Every structure is written in C-alpha cells, then in structure tokens.
Chains A and B, each alone.
Chain A
Amino acid sequence: MTITYLEAIREAQEKALRDDERVYIYGQDIGTLGGAFKATKNLAKEFPGRVLDAPISEDAMVGSAIGAAIEGMRPIIEMQFADFSMVAINQIVNQAATLYWRTQVACPITIRLPSGGNPGSGPFHSQCLESLYSHFPGLVVMTPATVEDAYTMLLEAVEIDDPVIFCEHKYLYNRLKCEVLPETGLPCDTARIARFGRDVTIVAYSAMVHEALAAADQLHKEDIEVEVVDLRCVKPFDLKTVLSSVARTARLLCVGESWPWGGVNSEVIASVVTHGFHLLDAPPQRINSKDTPVPFHPSLWGVHKPSSQVIAAAVRRLCDW
C-alpha cells in the first residue's frame, strides 16, 4: 500500500487527534468536505466536534487558536491556501509569535499552509511564504520535502510548545509516495543529507529538494557529484549540517521557491559566509523564484520557479569558477 504526502498529513492529524485529546482542527471547509485538498478527509466523522468548519475569518481562526492554546489545547489551523494566511498575519506574528516572550506562556499552535503552486494556480493560490514567516522571531517554520517528514514533522509540530508554521507543498501532495509511514523521524532542527556528493552542496527544502535531486542525477552523468542538504525546517535551520557539507564541497548553492529578497536562501548564505568563509572555494549562489507575482499560465509558471535545469546550469557555473 502506498501513502501520498497528502495522506501522510491526514494520517498525522488522525494520529494526533486519536492520541492527544488536546488536539482539535479548525479551518475552512475541513469538516464535511474534508478540506479543499482532502487533508482532513473523514476526520470530522471520526472525531465528532473536534474537526470544525470555520467562517472565512483567518484572523479570528488564528486568534481563537492562540486563546485555546493558552488554555492548554493544541489546535491545528488549516489555511485553505498559504496565501490566505496573510489575512491572519497580525495574529500570527504579533500575538502568537510574541506570546511566550511577553508572558512566559507558551503558544503551541500549528498552522498548516498549503504552499507552492500547481500549473494554473496563479498569483493567489501558489505562494511560498516560509521566508516571510521566518523573518519574525518566535515562529518555527517547517518545510517537509518527503512523505515521511510530512508525517513525523506534523506530529512534532503539534508537540512543540511554540507556534509552528507548517508549509506543506501542494505540488508534492499527490506526486510523492512512500510505502510505510515511519514511527519516528529526525528532530525538526536537524537537516538531512538527501544525497552525498563531493563537488557542490545544494541546500534546498520542500519541493525544491526534488528539483535539486533531479539536477544531481543529470550532473552525475557529467561527472559532477552534488550533495543535497534538505533543511527540513527553515527557522531555525541546522547551520552545523550545512557548514559540515560546505566543508566537504567548498561550493554552495541555495535553492528556495520563495522570493529572493530577505529570504531563507539569503539567510543560509549569510550564515555560511559569516561562519565558514574560509571553507568556500567559490562565491555562494542562490536560486529563487523570479521576483514577480506567481504567474497563472503553466508555461510562465514553469519558468518562474527554480527548475532542475536551471539548478544544473548554476552548478556547472559554480564548478567552473
């Protein structure tokens, strides 16, 4: 039996609801419909009163989750699309993210953000907002790239005492499959070496890990061996694993699907240059989506985000340096 990335997210929520009575899920169309993407399929029936349809009020959804968390609950909020979380950004960054700092009271909420695009999704159903949320102190921002991580990291997100922005990638929902879900996974603040290689380190996360791996396959035929580090969690991120990889390869390329300005890529590069300047044999490079809104038409969309071809070309240039 195979399990998709989307099913893993559903399974994780089912397990959380089953194992922990503090957990409930709140979001638009998640009850009878089972969510716009079916990430909560049948959960409302299975756990009556604990999987609740919300009015179209993202601000109030998050605000109420904060209040419930203060009272000891572990709410999961499903945003229908990551893009709509912006309506709740005040609650997320000013209320939830600051609560522990201000009051010594933890805010264990999980906000699920169906992120990234599919062909034809357009500017308001395709955004990748991990860089935005990473900017604000107090948030943990997870970006699982595998079915296994989608499962164990979502369970970990519910357990963590801090507000977690869980960026699940819509492109991976039904394209990634695994055979069996793991019991445990790496802790979220530990990166994973998705592929070993001696020539160049690619740091990626979420769907971009798969683009990086595809590029690595191609480059292998050209005798370039790429090491791919899957960050898994972009805030905080595992600088130690990244530096260890750069120490081996001396070349760094960061790939992220969010926009370039002030993003995860810039932060990873800044940290590597600050702490590991002497490890580098070439200037670190990054590839982001283009600095425009996400285009609707598939032909534009395919070029807007980083692809394995663009990644491979950047690696070749890095090796020539």
Chain B
Amino acid sequence: MPKIPIIMPQLGESIAEATVVRLTVNVGDQIANDQEVIEVETNKAVMSVTTPCQGLLDSFTAEVNETYPVGSTLGYIEASAEDVERLNLAEPPLVASAWFGPSHNAASADQTLSADDSLADNLEIPIGQNGAAYQSPRLRARLQELGIHPDDAAVVPGSGIAGRVTVRDFEAYIEGLNRLPSKKASPMRLAVADSMRRSWTRPLATLGVSISLEPILAHRKTLTPSPGPALYLAKALAIALSEYPQSAARLIGDKIVLPASIDIGVAVEVEDGVIVPVFAELDKQPLAGLPGQYKKFLQSAKEKRLPEEAKRPAIASVTNFGTLGVHWATPIPLPNETLIMGLGYGEKRPFWDETAGCFVPRLEAELTISFDHRVIDGGQSGRLVRRIMELLGAPEGL
C-alpha cells in the first residue's frame, strides 16, 4: 500500500516553521478524512495538521518539541491505491519550500538570458564585444591614467575570456614593472613611438636592390653646394611618383586616396628621435636648389623647430641609413605615408665589367623600399624601384 507523506503546512503568511506540540493519534490508528493528527505551535497560534487522505497511520518522523520548516515530512499515512489515484497523491506534494528551491530561480535566470540574446539578434551590433581585443572601460580608464596607449596593453598576458586582459592582469603587470629602474620618456620619444605604433597597424613589406653610386658621385661634383645621396634619391623618388602617383596612394576604408602634390620627406636623426622635414612639390624643384634648402632644414631640425613649409605631411620619405654604416634595413613609413625608401652604406665592391671582361671596383649601396602591401604589390614597387634606378643612373636628368 502506498505511503503518503504528512506535510508541515504553511500556517500563516510569514510562518516558516512550527513546533510539534502533541501527536493526537497513535501509529497504527485508522485515520478518517480531514482528521487532525498532530498539534503544532507557531508564534501566532496552536493549530492542527491533517493528512492528505484517509488511511492507516504508518509512522511519525517528527518528534514532539522539535521544530520543523514548512514543507517538512512529519510522518506517513498508508493510503489505499484507490485514494491515491482518486486524489492524485502519487505526484510529489505541493510544499511551500518548493518556492524557494534553486530550480525555479535557475529557470527564470535562463529565460532572462535567452530573451537578451534574441534582442541582440534583431539589431545590428558591432561584433567583438568580448574577447582579446576588448578592453573594459575600467581598464581603459586605468591605461589613460598611466598614460599607456591601449595597444600597448597587448604585452600583458590576459586571463579573461579569449585572453582578454582584465584589470587584475594589468595591475599585476604594472606591479612587476614598478620593481625595475625607469625614467620619464622624452616628448620626442613619445611622438616617434606614437607614430610608429600607428604605422605598424599595416602590413609592411620591404624589398631591396644594389645600385651604383658612381653616376651620383660624378654628378654631384658639378654642383656647388653639392647635394648628398639622400637628396638625389628624394628627387628621383619625386619624379618617379609624379609618373606613378598611385604608388603613393593611401587606402582609407574602401577608397584609394591619391596625393595632391609630390611632397617628399627626408629623415634626419636628432637627439632621442627622428625628424622628417618635407620638400614640397619636389618633382618641380631643381636639384641644384636642394642642398641649400636641406642645410636650412637640417639646422632647424636639430633645434627641433622646422619651418612651416617643411611640416606639411609628406606622401613618401627617404632615409639614408647608410650614414650609420648600415647596409640594409626595413624602415617603417610614417602613418600617413604608403612608402619609404632607404639607402645603405656605400662601399667599393667588385663588379663584373662585361666590356672589359674583368671585375672592376665600383661604389655601390643597397636601395630599399618599404611599403604598405595593402596599397601596392611587389610588381608595382619593383617597377617603381627600376624607374628610380634608371633616374639615379643618369643624374643629369634630375
């Protein structure tokens, strides 16, 4: 015969428990419908508990003078199968404590989450709201407070979702750094750093060729003051770009932005950084006039006070890393430039002379071009370099 639990009822709105005062029947007694079997006491009153149906009192699990929460089983009654079926007592009894059960709360929490998701589906929302790239407003505020660029937080190993850097990750990193010696960076260093960081967001490629410096060296002797190799290169680049301006174009969104005029920068090393004075419309300026202008720029660059006309944004730059004794480098174009050309250290090398049928000494250097590979490809940059080599081979045409 099925055993049906006798339950501690909810004996008032704010009642959570009650104390058993007296068992008013004995185990083994035949219990009638609606018969009271246990007397219980709350802080409000003494009341009686009944059974869900008639039957034989099987057992009391509750003890007198003990307190039980609402919904507790106080004993069992043996009911007839017929009563169990008729009153649907096989189902677990409705107990007040079920209201506070975890299953209910979990169910409603799930519903909330799924409702939120469906909203997101209906709206155009930028992707990537969490994960490695995501920085919380709090982390960003902290970075700003410390003067750290958000991109520089990438050096911090992240423990968040998809490697996201949490504020705790960041603070641990900073704490480690604080134990090392440090000094304040100069404004020049910070400016160069910012420029290089912004530039590095692009896929940059570099290629290089060897060129003969002999024609340049021969030609510069004909001019007073005589221009340096960097100015020859700058002038040749200007002419080449005036012929192929799309090589210096910039890719912004879905647009190719072409240069308005051929303004070329020439990198100059200064204390704790680099300054790049700009020769405006260099394709139209005679080579002979450049050394004087360059001297002026050089002087003001050392004083970190460039004239206005030299401060306009260039479309491309040249850098003569050969002056440092360096043969080869992969310089980085400025953020608003698509390419930079470099000139390496000039030295005598054996060169096979076809007509003489022997090796002859020749002054050579490496010419490099570093470019934004999104805008130009290897072929286009190769053609540009060939054209520049051609121009530098006949400097009288510059």
A contact set with B: CB distance below 8 Å: 239-240, 243-244, 247, 274-279, 283
Contacts and interface: CB of A to CB of B under 8 A. Distances in A.
8 contacts: A239-B119, A240-B119, A240-B123, A243-B123, A243-B125, A244-B124, A276-B125, A283-B137
Contacts of B122: 240
B43 interface: no
Interface of B: 116, 119-120, 122-126, 128-129, 134, 137
A278 B123 contact: no
Contact of A278 (B116, B119, B129): B129
Contacts of B129: 277-278
A244 B123 contact: yes
A275 B126 contact: no
A46 to B, nearest CB: 46
Nearest to A271: B119
Contacts of A274: 116
A187 B126 CA distance: 28
B119 A275 contact: yes
A239 B116 CA distance: 12
Q: 5 nearest interchain CB pairs? A: A278-B129, A275-B119, A243-B123, A240-B123, A278-B126
Q: Which of B120, B122, B123, B124 has the most CB of A within 10 A?
A: B123
Contacts of A276: 125
A214 to B, nearest CB: 30
B117 to A, nearest CB: 10
Contact of B126 (A239, A244, A279, A283): A279
A275 B124 contact: no
Contacts of A244: 123-124
B134 to A, nearest CB: 8
Nearest to A281: B137
B113 to A, nearest CB: 12
Contacts of A243: 123, 125
A110 B300 CA distance: 78
Contact of A247 (B124, B128, B137): B124
A276 B123 CA distance: 10
Contact of A275 (B120, B128, B134, B137): B120
Contacts of B120: 275
Contact of B125 (A239, A247, A283): A247
Contacts of B128: 278
Given A240-B119, A274-B116, 18 more contacts: A240-B122, A240-B123, A243-B123, A243-B125, A244-B123, A247-B123, A247-B125, A247-B126, A275-B116, A275-B119, A275-B120, A276-B125, A278-B125, A278-B126, A278-B128, A278-B129, A279-B125, A279-B126
A276 B120 CA distance: 9
A231 B209 CA distance: 66
Contacts of A240: 119, 122-123
A275 B121 CA distance: 11
Contacts of B137: 283
A283 B124 CA distance: 21
Contacts of B123: 240, 243-244, 247
Contacts of B125: 243, 247, 276, 278-279
B124 to A, nearest CB: 7
A277 B125 CA distance: 10
Nearest to A274: B116
Nearest to B123: A243
Contacts of A278: 125-126, 128-129, 134
Contacts of A275: 116, 119-120
A278 B126 CA distance: 8
Nearest to B126: A278
B142 to A, nearest CB: 15
A278 B120 CA distance: 12
A283 B122 CA distance: 24
A279 B124 CA distance: 10
A278 B134 CA distance: 9
Contacts of B126: 247, 278-279
A240 B119 CA distance: 8
B194 to A, nearest CB: 21
Nearest to A283: B137
A269 to B, nearest CB: 15
Nearest to B130: A278
A247 B125 CA distance: 7
Contacts of B124: 244, 247
B71 to A, nearest CB: 26
Nearest to B119: A275
A247 B127 CA distance: 12
Contacts of B119: 239-240, 275
A244 B125 CA distance: 9
A148 B146 CA distance: 53
Nearest to B116: A275
